[in-house]
């Protein structure tokens, strides 16, 4: 049975569609350095898969092998049933590189016309696709302008349009929002969200991955160290909620003693002059904590509930932060 | 797909005007410099050149091949000593003493591509040191003798008429245009090399710009990408040499020789230079490396092939080595057309040598094609 997969997989939607991309044991070495070491994952039709990891983790190298840009030293790739790197596999992929890959001296239409022709599009079909794709990325009114005159965000959208033009079955986006203003970032994310095709999305922005991707693979030092929906990853590796309370320092010990008496509070400790409570569900215990403080005549000057996120998952799995 | 990539390359080069500069402005400028330098019509100068050791038939053919300007007389002398005496006495401005026994194929090749040769083993140019013009015309006559002998039109052992003859040349030459005929294709070949060598840097520039990654990700074979680039460079290279040919011919009156032969030589030279260009680019990892390699090899080939320094002024071994260069062979072909006035069929040899050079260098480059297109 085939099930449509929604965007934003924190809910833990299970994907049962056939695999559009299947990678098994990918390996790539550059001299003595192993950039990718035994990476395996698959992406179903219409699934958005996020490859999350810091710079230098192996994301771009993995993508380069998938798209046939770099020869792999080991492992297997199939795209839509075709051997990775074959012309058929390449035809099924829409590649949006990390850097702007357009000719600044040519207009968006001229750029798209060239790249469209490389995928066999010609004549009226080519022109129709160009109009349609420019409309999709919100550049229909600037199509005849040279790319060199575009803002950074517009260039990124045009960059994505070139990858979408031939209606690929698998869209590969390599950090498409790096250095992009918030408005353009949202436009890109919205566009990706409504495509309805398989997407491989690499990023080191955890919020993007959590918002956009049905499943996420966490990659570090060339290894895929965890995989699942954002919800399952956080549940398994993110740890517990933290409630931070601020009050008069003279009353901190009294507040700590009162909180230790509460159910569902696993740990109470002083952190940077504030009180940090560890609990399974911060929002649920917060009213109780505030009530206890009031009963003891303690004025809370600040309250913050922090739920674990993918950053915590990465920290938990690697012992280091998801750095830029 | 090759055509798509080539057209895109040409469109971008038109858009950034580099093709206009490389294929039109620069060749026009160079043609103008050559034309004004060599095709100016100065007043006829009365010069007498004596020749010994050659038959009347050979001298007549050599004068024809040399295309000497009006006012230059060539006198056949009975011996080397007679030439030297006449030059010393001022009866002659200069002379050429031919030594048939010393004429060899390797020495004969040089004057064909290099009318300015001053040292060849087949003859001595006799001058007093006071007449530069006389010296140069004597060299032209010597080059003509070698050209004619090499072409096999007159055997150097032909019957020698003992009577001294004077050959008036008023109607056989067109002044400095003989130099223009020589230098125009010569410099055009240099332009070709620069254009094709540096043109292939486009691949490396696209790698740096990121567009190569997108092209490589498309359903194309690496060879299609490289051949597309090469096609664009071939077209621009051909345009470059055609502009120089047209301008020097129609504006300055140069005569490159048989048009079909010239056309074939232009194609052959352009293909060979494209082969060299793609081979050199395949050795480089960055645009800067390609630039350096191309300039270095270009300068080396230009010097060795005889484009800048007359190969006749180099040691004998280098004169033969010139024929190991594509530009050397291009000059041989063009020389047969513009100096020997030979038909198009005469350049079949050089033409196929140039094609072979293109195949070998291009083939070597294609063994590295995957690496060339890897982003």
> Which CATH number characterizes residue B137's domain?
3.40.190
Q: Are residues A277 and A219 in the same domain?
A: no
A and B: number of Cβ contacts within 8 A: 68
Regarding whether B316 and B209 lie in a shared domain, the answer is yes
By residue range, what is the domain housing residue B294? 2-38+177-373
Q: Is A254 found in the same domain as A168?
A: no
B161 and B186 together in one domain: no
- In terms of Cβ atoms closer than 10 Å to its own Cβ (0-12, 13-18, 19+), residue B327 is buried
Say yes or no to pLDDT of B43 above 80: no
- Same domain assignment for residues B329 and B369: yes
Nearest CA in chain A to B225: A118
Query: Where does the pLDDT of residue B154 fall: very low under 50, low under 70, confident under 90, or very high at 90 and above?
Result: very low
Give yes or no for B214 touching A (CB within 8 A).
Answer: yes
Q: How far is B362 from chain A (nearest CA, A)?
A: 23
Could you report the average pLDDT of every consecutive run of 10 residues in chain A (324 residues)?
38 56 92 89 90 84 91 91 90 89 92 93 92 88 90 86 90 82 75 81 82 87 88 81 86 85 84 85 84 85 85 80 59
Within this chain, do residues B155 and B228 fall inside the same structural domain, yes or no? no
Whose CA is closest to B337, among B261, B272, B245?
Answer: B261
**Same-domain check for residues B182 and B108:** no
What is the C-alpha to C-alpha distance for residues A180 and A185, in angstroms, rounded to an integer?
A: 6
Question: B212 and B64 in one domain?
Answer: no
Q: Given a cut of 70, is residue B17 above it in pLDDT?
A: yes
Least confident segment among B63-72, B189-198, B232-241: B63-72
pLDDT digits (tens, 9 = 90+) for B293-317: 888 888 888 877 777 665 555 667 7
**Chain A interface mutation, best of B3, B219, B224, highest count of A Cβ atoms under 10 Å:** B219
Q: Determine which of A61, A80, A95, A101 to mutate to test the interface with B (most B C-beta atoms within 10 Å).
A: A101
**In this complex, do A99 and B210 lie within 8 Å of one another by their Cβ atoms?**
yes
Residue B75 sits in the same domain as residue B19: no
Boundary of a domain, candidates B128, B144, B168: B168
pTM of the model: 0.71
d(CA A77, CA A298): 61
Last residue in a domain, options A213, A236, A259: A236
Mutate to test the interface with B, among A87, A107, A114, A162 (most CBs of B within 10 A): A114
Same domain for B321 and B356? yes
Give residue B375's pLDDT band: very low, low, confident or very high (50, 70, 90): confident
The beta-carbon neighbor of B218 closest among A71, A100, A119 is A119
CA distances, A73 to each of A24, B169, B201, B221 (Å) = 12, 75, 28, 20
B266 burial (CB, 10 Å; 0-12 / 13-18 / 19+) is buried
Contact (CB<8Å) B375/A99: no
Q: Which residues have CB under 8 Å from A235's CB, separation 6+?
A: none
Separation in Å, CA of B1 to nearest CA in chain A = 6
- Is the same domain home to A110 and A225? yes
Residues B163 and B181 grouped into a single domain: no
Answer yes or no: do A128 and A224 share one domain.
yes
Residue that terminates a domain, selected from B168, B191, B226: B168
Contacts of B214 in chain A (CB under 8 A): 95, 97, 101, 115, 162-163
Assigned token pair, A65:
């092998």
Q: What are phi and psi of A219, to 5 degrees?
A: -120, 140
Query: Token pair 């982003």 is at which residue?
Result: B375
| B219 contacts A105? CB cut-off 8 A | no
Q: Which of B115, B106, B253, B266 is nearest to B182 (CA)?
A: B115
pLDDT at B64: 75
Model pLDDT, residue B317:
74
Helix ranges (DSSP H) in A203-299: 206-212, 230-237, 252-260, 282-295
Is A40 in the B-facing interface, judged by CB distances under 8 Å? no
Q: Is the Cβ of A91 closer than 8 Å to some Cβ of chain B?
A: yes
Interchain CB distance below 8 Å, B220 and A118: yes
- Comparing B19 with B221, the larger pLDDT belongs to B221
* Number of domains within chain B: 2
Q: What is the pLDDT of residue A13?
A: 43
My answer on whether B200 and B62 are in the same domain is no
One domain, residues B229 and B358: yes
Range of the domain at A270: 240-307
- Per-residue pLDDT band at B216 (split at 50, 70, 90): very high
Question: Residues A197, A86: one domain?
Answer: yes
What pLDDT shows up at residue B169? 33
Residues A175 and A297 in one domain: no
**What's the ipTM?**
0.79
Does residue A321 sit within a domain?
no
Distance CA B219, CA B1 (A): 10
Q: Please tell me the distance from the alpha carbon of residue B165 to that of residue B345, in angstroms, as a whole number.
A: 34
Q: Is it the case that residue B32 has pLDDT exceeding 60?
A: yes
CB of A101 within 8 Å of a chain B CB? The answer is yes
Residues B102 and B158 in one domain: yes
Closest-CA residue of chain B to A61: B375
Kindly state the DSSP code that residue A146 receives in the 8-state scheme: B
Residue B143, H or E segment: helix B132-151
Hey, which bits of chain B come out as E strands?
Answer: 47-52, 72-77, 94-98, 123-127, 166-168
Residue A265, strand partner residues: A279
Whether pLDDT at B117 is above 70: no
Q: What are the tokens at A260?
A: 């230790």
B93 DSSP assignment = S
Tell whether A70 is within 8 A of chain B (Cβ): yes
Hey, what are A220's tokens?
């570090």
In this complex, the residue of B1, B8, B213 whose CB is nearest that of residue A101 is B213
What's the DSSP call for residue A99? S
Question: Which residues partner with A239 through β-bridges?
Answer: none
Q: Do B218 and A103 touch (CB under 8 A)?
A: no
Residue A69 near chain B (CB below 8 Å): yes
Beta bridge partners of A33: A30
């Amino acid at each position: 049975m085939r099930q449509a997969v929604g965007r934003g997989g924190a809910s833990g939607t299970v994907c049962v569609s056939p695999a559009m991309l299947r990678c098994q044991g990918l390996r790539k070495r550059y001299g003595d350095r192993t950039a990718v070491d035994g990476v395996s994952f698959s992406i179903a039709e219409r699934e958005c898969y996020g490859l999350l990891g810091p710079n230098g983790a192996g994301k771009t190298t993995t993508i380069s092998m998938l798209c046939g840009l770099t020869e792999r030293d080991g492992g297997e790739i199939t795209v839509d049933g075709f051997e990775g790197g074959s012309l058929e596999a390449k035809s099924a992929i829409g590649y949006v590189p990390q850097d702007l890959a357009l000719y600044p001296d040519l207009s968006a239409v001229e750029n798209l016309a060239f790249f469209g022709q490389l995928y066999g599009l010609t004549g009226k079909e080519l022109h129709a696709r160009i109009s349609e794709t420019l409309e999709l990325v919100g550049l229909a009114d600037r199509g005849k302008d040279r790319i060199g005159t575009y803002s950074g965000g517009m260039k990124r959208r045009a960059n994505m349009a070139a990858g979408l033009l031939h209606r690929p079955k698998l869209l590969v986006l390599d950090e498409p929002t790096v250095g992009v203003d918030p408005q353009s970032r949202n436009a890109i994310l919205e566009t990706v969200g409504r495509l309805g095709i398989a997407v491989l999305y690499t990023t080191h922005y955890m919020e993007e991955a959590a918002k956009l991707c049905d499943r996420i693979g966490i990659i570090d030092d060339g290894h895929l160290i965890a995989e699942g929906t954002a919800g399952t990853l956080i549940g398994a590796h993110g740890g517990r909620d933290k409630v931070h309370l601020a009050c008069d320092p003279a009353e901190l010990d009294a507040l700590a003693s009162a909180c230790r008496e509460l159910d569902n509070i696993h740990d109470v400790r002083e952190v940077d002059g504030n009180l940090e409570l560890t609990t399974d569900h911060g929002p649920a215990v917060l009213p109780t904590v505030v009530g206890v403080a009031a009963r003891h005549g303690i004025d809370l000057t600040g309250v913050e509930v922090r739920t674990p996120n993918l950053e915590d998952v990465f920290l938990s799995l690697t012992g280091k932060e998801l750095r830029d | 797909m090759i055509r798509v990539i080539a057209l895109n390359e040409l469109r971008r080069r038109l858009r950034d005007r580099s093709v206009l500069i490389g294929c039109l402005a620069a060749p026009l400028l160079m043609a103008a410099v050559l034309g004004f330098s060599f095709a100016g019509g100065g007043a006829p100068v009365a010069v007498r050149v004596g020749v010994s050791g050659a038959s009347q038939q050979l001298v007549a053919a050599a004068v024809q091949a040399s295309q000497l300007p009006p006012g230059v007389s060539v006198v056949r002398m009975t011996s080397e000593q007679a030439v030297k005496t006449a030059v010393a006495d001022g009866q002659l401005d200069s002379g050429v003493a031919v030594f048939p026994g010393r004429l060899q194929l390797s020495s004969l090749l040089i004057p064909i591509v290099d009318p300015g040769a001053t040292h060849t083993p087949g003859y001595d140019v006799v001058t007093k040191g006071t007449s530069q013009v006389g010296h140069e015309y004597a060299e032209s006559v010597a080059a003509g003798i070698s050209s004619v002998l090499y072409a096999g039109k007159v055997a150097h052992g032909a019957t020698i008429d003992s009577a001294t003859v004077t050959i008036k040349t008023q109607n056989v030459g067109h002044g400095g245009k003989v130099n223009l005929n020589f230098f125009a294709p010569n410099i055009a070949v240099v332009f070709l090399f620069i254009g094709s060598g540096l043109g292939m840097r486009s691949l490396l520039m696209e790698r740096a710009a990121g567009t190569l990654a997108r092209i490589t990700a498309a359903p194309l074979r690496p060879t299609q990408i490289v051949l597309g680039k090469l096609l664009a460079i071939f077209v621009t290279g051909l345009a470059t040499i055609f502009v120089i040919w047209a301008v020097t011919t129609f504006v300055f009156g140069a005569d490159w020789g048989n048009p079909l032969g010239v056309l074939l030589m232009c194609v052959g030279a352009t293909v060979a230079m494209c082969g060299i260009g793609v081979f050199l680019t395949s050795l480089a990892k960055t645009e800067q490396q390609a630039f350096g390699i191309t300039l270095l090899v270009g300068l080396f080939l230009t010097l060795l092939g005889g484009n800048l320094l007359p190969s006749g002024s180099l040691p004998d071994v280098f004169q033969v080595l010139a024929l190991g260069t594509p530009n050397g062979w291009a000059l041989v072909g063009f020389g047969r057309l513009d100096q020997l006035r030979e038909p198009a069929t005469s350049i079949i040899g050089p033409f196929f040598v140039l094609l072979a050079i293109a195949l070998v260098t291009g083939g070597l480059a294609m063994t590295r094609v995957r690496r060339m297109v890897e982003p």
